[in-house]
A and B are shown apart, each in its own frame.
Chain A
């Protein structure tokens, strides 16, 4: 499910960016956040293609709404919130359409495309995460993977800190139970 990219087609290796040329500060800042955004998208969604689509939608919306971002506030929280809301809308729309995620589609996320680090246990984590309710998964991802404080994570999700705390604990316990079985 890899996307063909020009860099691959031309036989060159794709590389990461360090100093973008001729970009305004907003776009430059977003460029710097791209790896993190992609990681968050992978945490929210089920596979890499879905995650890249989610990133793409988020970037487009962010560029359209750039005047709504207040200079001096944290851009990462702003765009995480946007991505999270886009994802939740997508989940709701699928639920309305009666689509559900098939078990087989889950859990092949990171390792499949990730190269060297791919291993048997990677699939276990993806599969365990995929079984969590959205609200627990996002709490776990925001705190344990993205490293946000409970307060910041609660702000992104739009819930009280105590709620975030209890979702995190429930999600964590479910993961520990699943991974404990797998270990």
Chain B
């Protein structure tokens, strides 16, 4: 059998089956010319794939992101190359940079700490498991320079950061009671929160596995 160039290409690409594949394979084995054809085919495939590969590692076009998210406030944080890359997409619920949030406190937590509902979310919810569209979301988790695990969260129109210590989830920065403490708090915008997280973080955001491990450890920093 003398296979056609189409058959040789299809064989080289693993597209043939059964008797046809066997026949082409036998013909290639017997013919240095066909072997060269197969080698050239594969070399070109590798060269083309390598040529286009850098595109897969480039940051996305922000216009594309905005089209898909419908959000104007797409913001980006720097992360180191070797780690998974993250982008922070602020949902429409977070569009307002200043919002009022009622803080529900069924049983009063220590001052400056997350209430039970928020604490439950901070304890349990993993970024990787979140359903799209939920109002209460973890934006990211990271480790502060102190070593403590911290999580940026969004709850309806407000967003904040809480860090775990021996007493619970201590609210930081914009989420913490400030000058105007009381039942109402000024919520940070997602962008502010992300900026704040970046300032606080000792490294990059936790990846899904790291988050799961941290949850397993109760979000308490390893000694």
Which of these, B55, B59, B92, B127, contacts A110 with CB under 8 Å?
B55
Interface residues of A in 1-34 (CB under 8 A from B): 3, 5-7, 12-25, 27-28, 30-31, 34
Is B133 an interface residue when CB atoms closer than 8 A count as contact?
yes
Contact between chains at A144 and B44 (CB < 8 Å): yes
Number of A-B contacts (CB under 8 A): 177
Q: In the complex, which residues of chain A have a beta carbon less than 8 angstroms from the beta carbon of B132? A: 20, 22-25, 28
Smallest CB gap from A57: residue in B: B67
**A31 and B52 alpha carbons, distance in the complex (Å):** 19
Which of these, B13, B52, B78, B128, contacts A150 with CB under 8 Å?
B13
Contact between chains at B44 and A21 (CB < 8 Å): no
Is B77 an interface residue when CB atoms closer than 8 A count as contact?
yes
| B28-48 interface code vs A (CB 8 A; 1 in, 0 out) | 000000000000110011011
| A150-183 interface code vs B (CB 8 A; 1 in, 0 out) | 1100000000001001101100110110010000
Given known A3-B61, A14-B59, contact A22–B133 (CB-CB < 8 A): yes
Is B84 an interface residue when CB atoms closer than 8 A count as contact?
yes
Q: How far is the CB of A33 from chain B (nearest CB, A)?
A: 10
| A58-81 interface code vs B (CB 8 A; 1 in, 0 out) | 011001000000000000000000
Contact between chains at A17 and B55 (CB < 8 Å): no
**A165 and B60 alpha carbons, distance in the complex (Å):** 33
Q: How far is the CB of B68 from chain A (nearest CB, A)?
A: 5
Smallest CB gap from B42: residue in A: A144
Task: Determine which residue in B6, B92, B133, B154 has the highest number of CB atoms from chain A within 10 A of its CB, and name it.
Answer: B6
Is A84 an interface residue when CB atoms closer than 8 A count as contact?
no
Q: How far is the CB of B168 from chain A (nearest CB, A)?
A: 25
Contact between chains at B89 and A17 (CB < 8 Å): yes
Contact between chains at B13 and A21 (CB < 8 Å): no
**A60 and B70 alpha carbons, distance in the complex (Å):** 11
Q: How far is the CB of A107 from chain B (nearest CB, A)?
A: 12
**A16 and B79 alpha carbons, distance in the complex (Å):** 9
Contact between chains at B44 and A166 (CB < 8 Å): no
Q: In the complex, which residues of chain B have a beta carbon less than 8 angstroms from the beta carbon of A176? A: 40, 44
Q: In the complex, which residues of chain B have a beta carbon less than 8 angstroms from the beta carbon of A28? A: 132
Given known A7-B76, A63-B67, A176-B40, contact A21–B139 (CB-CB < 8 A): yes
Q: How far is the CB of B207 from chain A (nearest CB, A)?
A: 8
Contact between chains at A23 and B69 (CB < 8 Å): yes
| A29-56 interface code vs B (CB 8 A; 1 in, 0 out) | 0110011101100110000000010011
Is A82 an interface residue when CB atoms closer than 8 A count as contact?
no
User: Which A residues are closer than 8 A to B by beta carbons?
Assistant: 3, 5-7, 12-25, 27-28, 30-31, 34-36, 38-39, 42-43, 52, 55-56, 59-60, 63, 110, 113-117, 122, 125-126, 140-141, 143-145, 147, 149-151, 162, 165-166, 168-169, 172-173, 175-176, 179
Q: A140-B48, A165-B9 are in contact. List 4 more A-B contacts (CB 8 A).
A: A6-B74, A18-B85, A22-B132, A150-B13
